Structure 1
Amino acid sequence: MADRKNALIVGASRGLGLGLVETFLQRGWRVTATQRSPSPGLAALASDALRVETADIDDDVAVAALHDRLSGERYDLVFVVAGVATQAHEPLHAVPRDVAAQVYLTNAISPIRFAEIFLDRLAPKGLVAFMSSILGSVGLNESGGWENYRASKAALNTLARSFEIRHRDAGLGVLLMHPGWVRTEMGGADADIDVPTSVAGMTDVIEGHLGRTGCVYVDYTGKTLDW
């Protein structure tokens, strides 16, 4: 199918990333999915429409090698899902400096660097999406907690807006996505929604934004969030 959409899902070994891969495949997309180590979940989805690659977004050499391996691909969507929540429940002063810095690097710096490197793999009027969080909203922070994680996602939001402005002439769209509070390893068993509900909503939002330009910050239902 010459008109089949093509997605690159970064950080797809489990949870939301894996759910997104499954959903896009079900909707007829071709998908390239990345894992840091072999993923049984991705292996179970094996098909002609799925390509699985191994790379860590914090490893510049690995990302550059992935870029080379995918030289023949053009993606309608590049979605960086990968992120960490190390010691997220502890106040900032209780988190060792190296741990706090690594969360910031993985959640804010590495996604933008990845998008920059892969910009030439984006199809015309393509969409770059980043897995953000409502916790990254400064205006909606009325409960505190998750301090370092919140700050890393707020930084991602700021950097993504700057990324879109810097590349505005390229005609791409940038989507910052809050998946909802989801029952995953990160979200916990008491979360509001399950993975299928979240990824179906996010996929709807993504498909609705294809071809649009600008930078938006929305949840899995398409609702715009306060910065």
Structure 2
Amino acid sequence: MSATSHRKALVIGASRGLGLFLADELARRGWRVIATTRQDVGELPAHAEAWNGQLTVESLEMTSSDQLAALRERLEGEGCRLDLLFVNAAIDRGNLPIHEVSTDMFTDVMITNALSPLRALEALRGLVAPGGTVAVMSSDQGSISRNTEGGYELYKASKAALNQLMRSYATRHAEDGQTKLLIDPGHNRTRLGGPDAPLAPQESIPAVVDVLEAQAGAPGLRFLDRHGKSVPW
């Protein structure tokens, strides 16, 4: 990885929650950060202004292949070379048993949580420097072996699908030398995680960045928690 002051990251899905905390933490450590939001509202623009150019904002609807291609073209035109490409995206549509989930709801969650992150990686991976890192925010809820308690069946299925697709991605690009990570940040108090979650992003995200920095340059795919420990598939 390049010198600390020149490290560059692209964080997809940083308008709020864990993605916003991730962008801030990377900037705090001296990274130059490009962060995306679906629209120019929310907290991200104010955070970018506070970082005085170290954190910049791009507009992106991640489910749009056209917008992904346009973002890649813009960044390529600027000569952008990334040390880290991180995709953070997830939605939850409630705690329904799978037989009560509508087809539209199932499709919406799977497209956002599983399909779109991999489309983003494929569209943007060419911007990542040799030896750089591509990473996706996953969850231990996607661990099949840990699925021993009821609830949130659709969300769990979407994260398990994400993990499987990331495994296929890593197999397909096994020779590119890039570090590939699935990150479980723990159950955090965000809009998605709810107010009763045991962790605060202020605690978990610095640990996540520790893992990202420690794993840099190690090729292959790993599914790790915020402590750098392997999560069972």
- Answer whether TM exceeds 0.5 for this pair: yes
Q: Give the C-alpha shift of residue 37 in structure 1.
A: 1.2
Q: Which residues in structure 2 correspond to 1:1-227 (within 5 Å)? A: 3=3, 4-45=6-47, 46=49, 47-71=52-76, 72-87=79-94, 89-227=95-233
Q: Give the C-alpha shift of residue 40 in structure 1.
A: 3.6
Q: Give the C-alpha shift of residue 105 in structure 1.
A: 1.0
* Structure 1 moving runs of 4+ over 4 Å: none
Give the distance between the partners of 1:56 and 1:221, measured in 2 at CA.
Answer: 31
SS of residue matched to 2:222: strand
SS of residue matched to 1:170: coil
Give the distance between the partners of 1:165 and 1:37, measured in 2 at CA.
Answer: 34
Deviations 1:141-188 (A, max 9, x none): 000211111011001101101111111111011100111110001111
Deviations 1:171-223 (A, max 9, x none): 01110011111000111111111011111110000000111111111111112
Give the distance between the partners of 1:136 and 1:59, measured in 2 at CA.
Answer: 24
Q: Give the C-alpha shift of residue 34 in structure 1.
A: 0.2
Structure 1 segments unaligned to the other structure (5+ residues): none
SS of residue matched to 2:180: strand
After superposition, the CA RMSD in angstroms is: 1.1
SS of residue matched to 1:48: coil
Give the distance between the partners of 1:42 and 1:137, measured in 2 at CA.
Answer: 31
Deviations 1:101-157 (A, max 9, x none): 111111111111110111110111111110100000000000021111101100110
- Residues 35 and 55 in structure 1, CA contact (< 8 A), matched pair in contact too: yes
Give the distance between the partners of 1:105 and 1:82, measured in 2 at CA.
Answer: 10
Q: Give the C-alpha shift of residue 39 in structure 1.
A: 3.5
- Residues 164 and 173 in structure 1, CA contact (< 8 A), matched pair in contact too: no
SS of residue matched to 2:193: coil
Give the distance between the partners of 2:146 and 2:112, measured in 1 at CA.
Answer: 23
Q: Give the C-alpha shift of residue 78 in structure 1.
A: 0.5
